[in-house]
């Protein structure tokens, strides 16, 4: 799994039946900034994830990929390889906080 | 999943039986342009995807990879790891549109 | 899936039982050359693929990876993650041919 | 699998039901330093892994990814794609130790 | 699959039950040297693989990853995503040998 920031959304009216009704969000994976190691920075990559938790723009979320993305009640048997499995409250590295929800 | 642009097609007459009859399209993954964050740009990568939605050249599509690519009615049990699961109408990032179908 | 060029072969006499009898080929993934967009160029990567189609050195082939590589009659239940599922006749991008078999 | 260092943890109160009760750790993949080949260095990447072994910050651990991450008693059927399957005591390369627990 | 060189080993006493008794080797993926195309060179990456074939340090081996890594008799149902499925005798590219066991 990895941490990503929700930065947008995607609309697709013409899609595979089993995707109808799923909210599709733009998520950008983040990694630890490697010099100071005190914050998270974007990796510059962009994925589309299914959201089953009501995540909103600006939220940091926990992403699961691959076949395991089908292991949530909402995504079972669906052609989905990226899903939001948690909304992140805090990430701590080297014993200090590098992300805390609502404190950016 | 990720967003890709359909830019071409592939012909293969000699192929595994279960692939016969599948339309094979060239797709190029796109990511958010990282400076202005106002448009999508190519990642420079090239994949071949099975199309089950009638996507055409120039369309932006939603791609699913891995075992989940076999979770559409058309690709079940087929040796397929990349499938088009949606035709993209709009992508919004940071509350403005970075792609809108028919407005390029 | 992706397009790769068959450039060689691998011999292994000491191998897992279920791999005995499989032809193992060296394949190099290709991508669209990004400036002119008129040809395919090597990505510089090297994979080993199981061949079930009689592909030969110099052929461009279609590769499937991951669990889907086990979805051909020849590779079922085998510890194989890369398989040749088609021999490529033509690849077209931006409405012109970027690869045509026998015309290199 | 790959070797990673546990450097932190993640808190998420709002998450998929099957993740409740799992400890989520920040892990950074390490690779062999390529010049001297005498130590392990960070790859600069950051993953979140489920811990079932009681690993602590500073430990080097063995990570399994993909569907195989669901093959531990703790992660079966869970939407988990990265799991700690071992705490590393020693890594030897070219016949000398490049990591030994408690000797850093 | 890909070719890798066995360069070391890993010891972990505290590990998931189903990994007990498995030999864990350090393997470094190799690719074709891209200028002369006459030898294999390291990619600089480091993986840990389960060995079921008695591979030794210095051997070039064939590696399978993902769920297919569980398709050997030794790794079934185990949380293993990288396995050695063959010991490489020879790799030929462009009709000449780029690796031959015992001739380095």
- Residue of chain C nearest B83, judged by CA positions: C1
- Residue of chain E nearest C49, judged by CA positions: E1
CATH number at residue C84: 2.40.50.220
> What is the spatial distance between Cα E24 and Cα D2, in angstroms, rounded to a whole number?
11
Report, as ranges of residue numbers, the positions in chain A whose pLDDT lies below 50. Answer: none
Q: Does C31 touch chain B (CB under 8 A)?
A: yes
Task: Identify the domain containing residue D41 by its residue range.
Answer: 2-100
C97: CB partners within 8 A, 6+ apart: C90, C91
Q: Does B78 touch chain A (CB under 8 A)?
A: no
Give the nearest partner residue to A79 out of B68, B91, B92, using CB atoms: B68
Buried b (16+ CB within 10 A) or exposed e, D62-74: bbbbbbbbbbbeb
pTM beyond 0.90, yes or no: yes
The encoded tokens of residue E69 equal 């890594």
CB B18 within 8 A of CB B6: no
pLDDT tier at D48 (50, 70, 90 boundaries)?
Answer: very high
Tally the domains of chain B.
Answer: 1
> What is the spatial distance between Cα C41 and Cα C18, in angstroms, rounded to a whole number?
34
Nearest alpha carbon to residue E53 among C17, D34, D29, A50:
C17
Query: What digits encode the pLDDT tens for the residues E43-99?
Result: 999 999 999 899 999 999 999 999 999 999 999 999 999 999 999 999 999 999 999
CB B58 within 8 A of CB B6: yes
Residues of A in contact with D11 (CB under 8 A): 88-92
Q: Does A9 touch chain B (CB under 8 A)?
A: yes
CB contact under 8 A, D32 and E9: no
Query: What digits encode the pLDDT tens for the residues E2-43?
Result: 999 999 999 999 999 999 999 999 999 999 999 999 999 999
Position B104 pLDDT exceeds 80: no
Report, as ranges of residue numbers, the positions in chain C whose pLDDT lies below 70. Answer: 104
Give the nearest partner residue to C64 out of B9, B45, B79, using CB atoms: B79
State the chains in contact with C (3 or more Cβ–Cβ pairs under 8 Å).
B, E
- Closest-CA distance, C40 to chain E, in angstroms, reads 16
Residues of C in contact with B24 (CB under 8 A): 1, 62, 86
The encoded tokens of residue E52 equal 């079921």
Q: Does C52 touch chain B (CB under 8 A)?
A: yes
Residues of C in contact with E2 (CB under 8 A): 46-48
């Amino acid at each position: 799994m990895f941490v990503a920031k929700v930065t947008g959304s995607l609309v697709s009216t013409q899609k595979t039946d089993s995707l109808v009704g799923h909210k599709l969000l733009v998520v950008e994976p983040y990694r630890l900034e490697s010099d100071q190691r005190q914050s998270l920075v974007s990796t510059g990559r962009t994925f589309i994830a299914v959201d089953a938790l009501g995540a909103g723009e600006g939220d940091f979320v926990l992403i699961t990929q691959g076949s395991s993305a089908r292991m949530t009640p909402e995504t079972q048997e669906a052609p989905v390889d990226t899903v939001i499995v948690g909304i992140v409250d805090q990430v701590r590295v080297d014993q200090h906080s590098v992300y805390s929800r609502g404190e950016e």
